[in-house]
């Protein structure tokens, strides 16, 4: 059977196969392949519909309506005044979290902060104060989720005597906490229960995450010479002042003071106050709350507080650091043997510099003359562990270190992390 190629412009007609009186062509176009049997007569072409058919009448009326629509719209606009545009909901960063508190005693919107996350403004915090010692602070860090409203009345020492905290916290759990003072007794009511203490014996504190609570605690600590106060319902807190820093803003430059707040977390918490003692910023590498107009300085504040935190904590813990000049020996330790899969008791670990040079039985140990000895008292000694899929900040790194993890590998975040 003979086969030949026929090509046209833009269409590959494909091979044409001739067999007797039948000629079949494979027409390969962009839309696929169709088989053409040229031995059959072509189908009759259908007659075009007449202009008087129902289909054409409908089409003409539809086209006329479309052409007339702009003319009718223009006539209506000229005859009636234009409608006011519909109100557009403001973006989360431009919306007030809540309305000012009711009552003429409050002077209005006195202070305002922005909440930054992921390099953009996601929410706001606003504070209203009355003519006495009562303030209302609304914190809405996101358009959805967390929203906390704090109303506080303090004494002249900045210690809260009445407090109401309501809303939803950072894990989207409902929060209702109150502090009341009656008959010289302070009652702190939280989800965990009620704690009572004599007035003046402590500062009420909540772990809900509201930034103004940290500022309240910092001001109360600044008012006492020891910079240390007990917390209610439990614990204690202290404050260390690091120093002042000029912070450039969008329209002006101001001065903020860095403090380290201890006792409210695993790591000291940096907090910036302005010259009047009001909150200026509480930020970290992921974002935070900062005075409106100064969001561009967030990265500068984070770098300054990180370096100050490392320097201060290194100096504070330096007396507790012991570096053996010679050999370090850990005696009476239990060591895991991976070959026998058993814990081997009574072992001595000999370390020189940053290397483990020997692990032997205590009975066969020859103690070097320059050895510094640590008695493990039968505890298990493990090598430093590695977490190869970690996403950690300084607090998480401290927890890793406490659990024996000495090296982290992270796909995001800083290349190295120092735990003070």
Asked if the model's pLDDT at residue 241 lies above 90, the reply is yes
pLDDT attached to residue 227: 94
pLDDT at 6 over 50: no
Q: What is the pLDDT of residue 413?
A: 57
196/199 Cα distance (integer angstroms): 9
Report the pLDDT value the prediction gives residue 24, as an integer from 0 to 100: 36
3-state secondary structure of 196: strand
The secondary element (H helix, E strand) that includes residue 76 is helix 54-79
For residue 111, the Cα-to-chain-centroid distance in whole angstroms is 24
pLDDT at 87 exceeding the cut of 60: no
- Could you tell me the pLDDT band of residue 20, with boundaries at 50, 70 and 90? very low
Q: What pLDDT is recorded for position 326?
A: 87
First to last CA, the chain: 88
Using CA atoms, how far apart are residues 239 and 220, in angstroms rounded to an integer? 10
Task: Please name which of 228, 233, 227 lies closest in space to residue 187, comparing C-alpha atoms.
Answer: 233
Beta bridge partners of residue 140, listed in sequence order? 124
Give the integer Cα–Cα distance in Å for 71 and 258: 68
Domain annotation for the chain: domains and CATH numbers: 3-37 (no CATH), 93-319 (no CATH), 327-408 (2.30.40.10)
The predicted pLDDT at position 94 comes to: 37
The reported pLDDT for the residue numbered 270 is 95
Is the confidence at residue 98, as pLDDT, over 60? no
Nearest CA among 342, 339, 416, 351 for reference residue 383: 351
**308 contacts 259 by C-beta, under 8 angstroms:** no
What is the C-alpha to C-alpha distance for residues 222 and 260, in angstroms, rounded to an integer?
12
Q: What is the pLDDT of residue 377?
A: 92
Strand 287-291 and strand 109-117: the pairing is antiparallel
Phi, psi at residue 93, to the nearest 5°? -75, -15
Which uninterrupted H or E stretch holds 211? helix 211-222
Note whether 57 and 65 are within 8 A (CB). Answer: no
Phi, psi of 258 (to 5 degrees): -90, 130
Helices and strands: H and E segment counts in the chain: 4, 25
Instruction: Answer yes or no: are the C-beta atoms of 359 and 347 closer than 8 Å.
Output: yes
DSSP string, 291-310: ETT-GGGHHHHHHHHHHHHH
Residue 26 CA, chain-centre distance (Å), reads: 62
Q: For the segment 60-77, what is each residue's pLDDT rounded down to a tens digit?
A: 666 565 555 555 444 444
d(CA 420, CA 412): 21
pLDDT at 224 over 80: yes
For residue 211, give Cα distances in angstroms to 208, 272, 330, 354.
Answer: 9, 11, 46, 43
- Per residue in 290-306, pLDDT tens? 999 999 999 999 999 98
- pLDDT tens digits, 125-169: 888 876 556 777 788 876 566 788 888 888 877 778 888 888 887
Contact 410, 390 (CB under 8 A): yes
DSSP for 358-403, written as a single string: EEEEGGG----TT-EEEE-TT-B--PPEEESS----HHHHHHHHHT
CB 284 within 8 A of CB 272: no
Neighbours of 165 (CB within 10 A): 23
Find all residues with CB under 8 Å of 356, minimum gap 6, and list them.
349, 350, 383
Q: Are 240 and 234 in contact (CB under 8 A)?
A: no
Pairing of strands 120-129, 109-117: antiparallel
User: In angstroms, rounded to a whole number, what is the distance separating the alpha carbons of residues 292 and 282?
Assistant: 13
Instruction: Give the model confidence (pLDDT) of 379-393 as tens digits.
Output: 999 888 888 877 666
Q: Which residue has the tokens 């607090």?
A: 395
Cα-based distances in Å from 247 to 296, 307, 359: 10, 16, 55
Q: Residue 320 gets which letter from DSSP?
A: G
| CA dihedral of 49, 50, 52, 57, whole degrees rounded to 10 | 40
| The pTM of the whole model exceeds 0.85 | no
Q: Where are the alpha helices (DSSP H) in 274-342?
A: 298-317
């Amino acid at each position: 059977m003979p086969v030949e190629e026929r090509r046209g412009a833009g269409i590959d007609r494909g091979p044409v196969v001739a067999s007797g009186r039948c000629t079949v062509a494979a027409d390969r176009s962009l839309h696929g392949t169709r088989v053409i049997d040229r031995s059959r007569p072509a189908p009759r072409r259908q007659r075009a519909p007449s202009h008087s058919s129902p289909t054409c009448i409908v089409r003409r009326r539809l086209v006329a309506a479309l052409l007339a629509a702009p003319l009718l719209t223009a006539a209506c606009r000229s005859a009636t005044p234009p409608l006011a545009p519909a109100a557009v909901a403001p973006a989360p960063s431009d919306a007030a979290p809540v309305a000012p508190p009711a009552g003429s005693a409050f002077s209005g919107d006195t202070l305002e902060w922005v909440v930054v996350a992921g390099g953009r403004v996601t929410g706001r915090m606003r504070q209203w104060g009355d003519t006495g010692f009562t303030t209302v602070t609304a914190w809405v860090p996101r358009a959805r989720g967390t929203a906390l409203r704090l109303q506080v009345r303090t004494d002249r020492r900045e210690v809260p005597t009445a407090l109401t905290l309501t809303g939803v916290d950072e894990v989207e759990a409902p929060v209702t906490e109150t502090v009341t003072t009656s008959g010289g007794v302070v009652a702190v009511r939280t989800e965990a229960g009620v704690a009572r203490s004599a007035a003046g014996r402590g500062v009420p504190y909540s772990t809900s995450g509201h930034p103004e609570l940290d500022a309240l605690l910092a001001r109360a600590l600044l008012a006492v010479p020891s910079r240390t106060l007990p917390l209610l319902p439990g614990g204690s807190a202290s404050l260390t002042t690091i120093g002042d820093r000029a912070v450039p803003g969008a329209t002006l430059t101001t001065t903020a003071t860095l403090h380290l707040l201890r006792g409210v977390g695993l790591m000291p918490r940096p907090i910036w106050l302005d010259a009047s003692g009001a909150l200026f910023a509480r930020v970290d590498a992921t974002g935070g709350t900062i005075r409106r107009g100064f969001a561009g300085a967030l990265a500068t504040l984070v770098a300054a507080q990180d370096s100050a935190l490392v320097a201060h904590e290194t100096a504070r813990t330096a007396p507790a650091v012991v570096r053996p000049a010679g050999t370090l020996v850990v005696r009476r330790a239990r060591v895991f043997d991976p070959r026998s899969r058993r814990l081997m008791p009574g072992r001595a670990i000999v370390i020189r510099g940053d290397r483990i040079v020997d692990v032997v039985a205590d009975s066969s140990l020859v103690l070097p003359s320059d050895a510094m000895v640590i008695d493990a008292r039968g505890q298990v000694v493990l090598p430093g562990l590695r977490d190869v899929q970690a996403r950690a900040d300084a607090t998480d790194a401290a927890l890793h270190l406490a659990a024996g993890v000495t090296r982290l590998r992270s796909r995001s975040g800083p290349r190295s992390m120092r735990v003070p």
